[in-house]
Chains A and B, each alone.
Chain A
Amino acid sequence: GAGVSQSPSNKVTEKGKDVELRCDPISGHTALYWYRQRLGQGLEFLIYFQGNSAPDKSGLPSDRFSAERTGESVSTLTIQRTQQEDSAVYLCASSLVSDRVYTQYFGPGTRLTVL
């Protein structure tokens, strides 16, 4: 059973360009999360998907950020008109929502560098 996978592992882009990051969750996990970690900081929640419910977008820092999820599988995080402050590691996690245990399993992350 594969864990959470993310691609690309590294992305270098120029300021103003759009980027798309991909996450493949663990099969059967109904919940999917995106976080980002800036240098020297903790993980910052961005967005949460759970089944067919409307996503919780409360952590998205600006309208340049958006995310989609196809059913209960792959998700993409899109950042439009990237800025240097968007440079961070973007982490995806998935979990099996059952009872009260919501342990989240993380992918290796995508390191985004905006020049």
Chain B
Amino acid sequence: DQQVKQNSPSLSVQEGRISILNCDYTNSMFDYFLWYKKYPAEGPTFLISISSIKDKNEDGRFTVFLNKSAKHLSLHIVPSQPGDSAVYFCAASASQGAQKLVFGQGTRLTINP
């Protein structure tokens, strides 16, 4: 049972344009969401997070949007840069329990010069 889904395994975007990565979840108990970025041979790096009490959180070029009714979140990167090329994982946790993260399968983002 995949509780967190990233339906696009890959995405290609031109440098300078907006990258939009999507994530859907099924568990209504999830109330905290994170995006991680992963380069090859490295561990995931925390990027940005959002609590369920908000619908938007912004940090520089990165913005995460949360639509609780649709159980959907998205990560916007603008403008996209070549260094943004990586695999992006969406993760979710519930305040009840051990704070373990449930991850999506990841989306490989490629920024083309």
Contact = CB atoms under 8 A, between A and B. Distances in A.
Contacts of A62: none
Contact of A59 (B42, B44, B46, B100): B100
Give the contact-size bracket for chain A.
20 to 34
A45 B98 CA distance: 11
Interface of B: 4, 6, 32, 34, 36, 41-46, 49, 51, 89, 91, 93, 95, 97-106
Contact of A50 (B44, B51, B98, B102): B98
Contacts of A31: 99
B102 A45 contact: yes
B106 A91 contact: no
Contacts of A95: 99
Interface of A: 4, 31, 33, 35, 40-45, 48, 50, 56, 58-59, 91, 93, 95, 97, 100-109
Contacts of A109: 42-43
B43 A100 contact: no
B43 A106 contact: yes
A104 B49 CA distance: 11
